[in-house]
Every structure is written in C-alpha cells, then in structure tokens.
C-alpha cells in the first residue's frame, strides 16, 4: 500500500482527459488500493486517478461514515440522469475551498469492477454528487470551473499564496 501525492489546482495536469482502462489487471488493482488508502488518509469521500496524475478512467468513492462503502469504478459512465440538487462541494485538489454546485439529483452508473465485470447502480444525494464530481475529474474538469471567472481567479490567488507559505 502507498499514499499517492495529490495534484493541486491550478496544476494544468488536472485538465488531462483520462483514457479508458484496456485491461483490468493486478497493476490496476494495486493502483485502486493505493487510491483508496490516499482517499481515506486525506480524508475525502472520493478520488479520481487524474488527481494522482494517472490519466486512466478509474475512481474510488466511499460516502459511508465508517469506511464500509468503498466503491471502485473502472471506465464509469453515467447512463441516466434526472432532477437537480445544489450541494456545497469541496475537492482534495482545491484544499480549503467550498462552494455550491448544481448537479443531477439521481444518476444511473455503469462501470467495470475490479474483476473487469460490468455492473450498474443507481445513486442519489451525496453519492450522486460525488460520482458526477469524480467523472468530471476524468474529463479534466475541476468543480471550481462551474463558478464565476471572478471566483476562479480569487481561488487561484488564494492557493498561490498558500503554496508560497508552504513551500
């Protein structure tokens, strides 16, 4: 097991479009275990491979309170969406910044599991938000891009200042 470094916005590598996983093998399963460890340690409720500079379509999610609900999704797709909800979002790649984003209330997701088998599930509420947030990462999109240009510039300024202090 290993903790992986998380890219910080506005790192341009966060805008890379991830490629589909061609074969679910031990290297992919090891990456998923390391991503889960990194997510729990952060702590966060989701992590996309893009955030650890691996540009393959893999995400881990756990919205449970006791680490009992790990979901690993390979090549995930949203095949149905309905309704609307506004949630205060945060992101491990944009530490300390929280703002409201409007998303679908319910989604149906199709993905491969760690055995390479296709499965589908319905998500709503926070799980649906997290799925949409993570799939955006795989397409190179960070939640702050839904905010106004003014807010995005303020966030870039804040994070740059923080990076200078921590460096």
The H or E element containing residue 97 is: none
Instruction: Return the closest-CA partner of residue 108 out of 126, 118, 120, 116.
Output: 120
Please tell me whether residue 91 binds Ni ion under the rule CB under 5 A. Answer: yes
Please tell me whether residue 45 binds ligand GNR under the rule CB under 6 A. Answer: yes
Q: How many residues bind ligand GNR (CB under 6 A)?
A: 17
- In this complex, which beta carbon is closest to Ni ion, that of residue 24 or of residue 123? 123
Please tell me whether residue 90 binds ligand GNR under the rule CB under 6 A. Answer: yes
Instruction: Give the whole-angstrom CA distance, residue 105 versus residue 75.
Output: 21
Please tell me whether residue 62 binds ligand GNR under the rule CB under 6 A. Answer: no
The H or E element containing residue 121 is: strand 118-124
Between CA 71 and CA 150, with CA 84 as vertex, the angle to 5 degrees is: 95
Residues of this chain that bind Ni ion (CB under 5 A):
91
- Using CB under 6 A, list all residues that contact ligand GNR: 44-48, 51, 87, 89-93, 129-130, 133-134, 137
């Amino acid at each position: 097991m290993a903790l992986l470094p998380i890219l910080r916005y506005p790192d341009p590598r966060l805008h890379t479009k991830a490629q589909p996983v061609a074969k679910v093998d031990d290297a992919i399963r090891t990456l998923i275990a390391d991503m889960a460890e990194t997510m729990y340690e952060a702590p966060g409720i989701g992590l996309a491979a893009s955030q650890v500079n691996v540009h393959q379509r893999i995400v881990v999610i756990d919205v449970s309170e006791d680490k009992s609900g790990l979901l690993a999704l390979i090549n995930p797709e949203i095949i149905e969406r309905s309704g609307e909800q506004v949630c205060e979002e945060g992101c491990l790649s944009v530490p300390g910044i929280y703002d409201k984003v409007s998303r679908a209330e319910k989604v149906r997701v199709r993905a491969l599991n760690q055995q390479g088998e296709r499965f589908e599930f319905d998500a709503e509420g926070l799980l649906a938000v997290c799925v949409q947030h993570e799939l955006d990462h795989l397409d190179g999109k960070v939640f702050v891009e839904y905010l106004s240009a003014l807010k995005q510039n303020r966030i870039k300024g804040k994070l740059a200042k923080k990076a200078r202090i921590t460096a």
